[in-house]
A and B are shown apart, each in its own frame.
Chain A
Amino acid sequence: MIRIANGQGFWGDWLEAPVRLVDQGPIDFLVLDYLAEVTMSILQKQKQEDPALGYARDFPPLIGRLANKLKDRNIKVVANAGGVNPVACARAVLKAAPGLKVAVIHGDDVFHRIDEFLGKGYDMRDMDTGRPISAIRKQILSANAYIGAFPLAEALDTGADVVIAGRSTDTALTLAPMVHRFGWKAEDWNKLAAGTIAGHIIECGAQCSGGNCQVDWESIPNMSDVGYPIVEAEPDGSFTVTKHTGSGGRAHTDTVKEQLLYELGDPKRYMTPDCIADFTTVQLADTGPDRVKVSGIRGGPRPPTLKLSISYTDGWKAIGTLVYSWPQAVEKARAADRIVRARLAGLGLAFDEIYTEFFGLNACNGPAAPPNPDPPEIQLRIGVRGQDRKAVDRFTRELIPLVLNGPPGATGFGDGRPPVREIVAYWSALIPREEIETRVEVIS
Chain B
Amino acid sequence: MRRPLSTIAHTRSGDKGDTSNIGVIALRPEHYRVILREVTPDRVKEFFGDLVKGKVERFELPNLGAINLLLHEALGGGGTVSLRVDAQGKTYGAALLRMEVEID
Contacts and interface: CB of A to CB of B under 8 A. Distances in A.
Interface string A345-389: 000000001010101000111111110000000000101110000
A430 B16 CA distance: 16
A383 B83 CA distance: 6
A365 B14 CA distance: 14
Given A128-B18, A261-B21, A426-B79, A366 B63 contact: no
Nearest to A214: B10
Interface string A420-444: 0001111010000000000000000
B50 A366 contact: yes
A266 B59 contact: yes
Size bracket of the A interface: 35 or more
Nearest to A421: B80
Contacts of A268: 59
A215 B27 contact: yes
B99 to A, nearest CB: 8
Interface in B61-86: 61-64, 66, 68, 70, 76-81, 83-86
A262 B10 CA distance: 12
Per DSSP, are chain A's interface residues mostly helix, strand or loop, or mixed?
Answer: mixed
A281 B18 CA distance: 28
A428 B91 CA distance: 25
B81 A423 contact: yes
Contacts of A317: 81, 83
Nearest to B67: A261
A357 B85 contact: yes
Interface string B17-32: 1110101010100000
B66 A425 contact: no
A123 to B, nearest CB: 18
A344 to B, nearest CB: 14
A283 B63 contact: yes
Nearest to A355: B83
Given A259-B12, A262-B23, A366-B50, A426 B17 contact: yes
A212 B12 contact: yes
A262 B80 contact: no
B63 A128 contact: no
B63 A282 contact: yes
Given A254-B10, A282-B64, A366 B25 contact: no
9 contacts: A257-B23, A261-B25, A262-B23, A266-B59, A279-B64, A281-B63, A364-B86, A367-B51, A368-B47
Interface of A: 37-38, 128, 212, 214-215, 254, 257-268, 279-284, 296, 314, 317, 319, 353, 355, 357, 359, 363-370, 381, 383-385, 423-426, 428
